[in-house]
Amino acid sequence: EAGVTQFPSHSVIEKGQTVTLRCDPISGHDNLYWYRRVMGKEIKFLLHFVKESKQDESGMPNNRFLAERTGGTYSTLKVQPAELEDSGVYFCASSSYRRGRLGYTFGSGTRLTVV
């Protein structure tokens, strides 16, 4: 079974530019989550999709962040325009059951550097 795939693995962009991160969850996993780790801080929740619907987006920092999940399959997280404080590692995770009852599968993350 393929794991959770994230693309790109690294991205370096200038302040003010736009970046789109992609996550391909495990096939058949309805639940998809985005998390972020800013340097020196703990990993923090961004949002949760159930299929194509946003179930909880309370962790999204501001309206420069836009997440979508097309047809309940892969998801994208767009940052527009990027700011320096957006630098960090963005993780995607998926699960087949709610609330991680049988555990989560995390991707390797996208390391975003805004310069």
Partner 1 sequence: KQEVTQIPAALSVPEGENLVLNCSFTDSAIYNLQWFRQDPGKGLTSLLLIQSSQREQTSGRLNASLDKSSGRSTLYIAASQPGDSATYLCASIQQGGSEKLVFGKGTKLTVNP
* C-beta of 58 vs 70, nearer to partner 1: 58
Q: Could you say whether residue 104 binds partner 1 (CB under 8 A)?
A: yes
Burial letters for 25-37: b for 16+ Cβ neighbours within 10 Å, e otherwise?
bbeebbbbbbbbe
Among 51, 66, 80, 100, binds partner 1 (CB under 8 A): 100
In DSSP notation, 54-74 reads EEE-TT--STTEEEEEGGGS-
Residue 26 engages partner 1 in binding (rule: CB under 8 A):
no
Size of the site for partner 1 (CB under 8 A): 28
* Amino acid in the structure at residue 22: R
Who contacts 113 (Cβ-Cβ below 8 Å, separation ≥6)? 10, 11, 12, 13, 87
Work out whether 34 is an interface residue with partner 1 (CB under 8 A). no
Q: Contact positions toward partner 1, by CB under 8 A? A: 3-4, 31, 33, 35, 41-45, 48, 55-56, 58-59, 91, 93, 98-101, 103-109
